[in-house]
Copies of this chain bind each other. A is one copy, B any other.
């Protein structure tokens, strides 16, 4: 099987490493529009072939993974679509699904399957050197199959991700985007905002507040070091679900703040115990 990967950042380079580590491809073709990424990928020996154009990669691949920032995925598909092999599959790894599917679905030629996907895995690091072969181990891999539930190509992608150690989960694009808005996009918005707020406070006090931070602030803001282009695009392309997630979070935040303001010990306790029980259950289910 010939696997082509377009975009050799954190996710693309991790896929390349993982396919090689698990010996899942006869060839791994790589392309990145950014020349230094291509040079770095070659130096790291991430692929078996480095294509001069995305069209060249598409013409040879049985499966094409589009691993570019969300805003560019449909554009990449538009370029490569006419060159995809009959019987091949094109899939993406974007953190937002509805907007990409709306733009890209009509571009796919007949005889080719589009299987939108999203490995729910990442770190705050970016670029070809940041990838890890085990990035997907134990992680959920969302596969959007609502157009043709459990189609053969969707099952093929699912089986492939399972071989990387991931847990494939089928869902609709709307479900995916609503959930990810809350459990991924919101934590990033909170992290960026907390760091910017801490800078303002430090300016007001004339003292470096962050130097007094313990692990709670460090963990909450870890992802503020993430790639800003990737996250700008995610925010712009999943705006409505993100706004809904932020409203939900803000409602909880406001209610707890209001309880603190009026000194309502019982209500604070109720909210904290509810959260603690849920969190402990989440910790348990991650262990198993």
Interface residues of A (CB under 8 A from B): 120-123, 139-140, 142, 169, 171, 175-176, 178-180, 182-184, 186-201, 205, 207, 209-226, 228, 231-232, 235-236, 239, 242-243, 245-246, 248-253, 256-257, 260-261, 263, 265, 268-269, 271-276, 278-280, 282-283, 285-286
Contacts and interface: CB of A to CB of B under 8 A. Distances in A.
A71 to B, nearest CB: 9
Interface centre among A169, A187, A251, A263 (most CB of B within 10 A): A187
B213 A120 contact: yes
Contact of A248 (B121, B197, B261): B197
A151 to B, nearest CB: 21
Contacts of A210: 183, 278, 282
A213 to B, nearest CB: 4
Nearest to A167: B211
Contacts of A197: 182, 245, 248-249, 251-252
Contact of A279 (B123, B225, B276, B282): B225
A257 B145 CA distance: 30
Contact of A219 (B209, B219, B282): B219
A275 B120 contact: no
B178 A212 contact: no
A221 to B, nearest CB: 6
B187 A220 contact: yes
A280 B179 CA distance: 28
Nearest to A243: B261
Contacts of A256: 189, 192-193
Contacts of A275: 191-193, 195-196, 224
B209 A216 contact: no
A235 B232 CA distance: 34
Contacts of A140: 211-212
A209 B195 contact: no
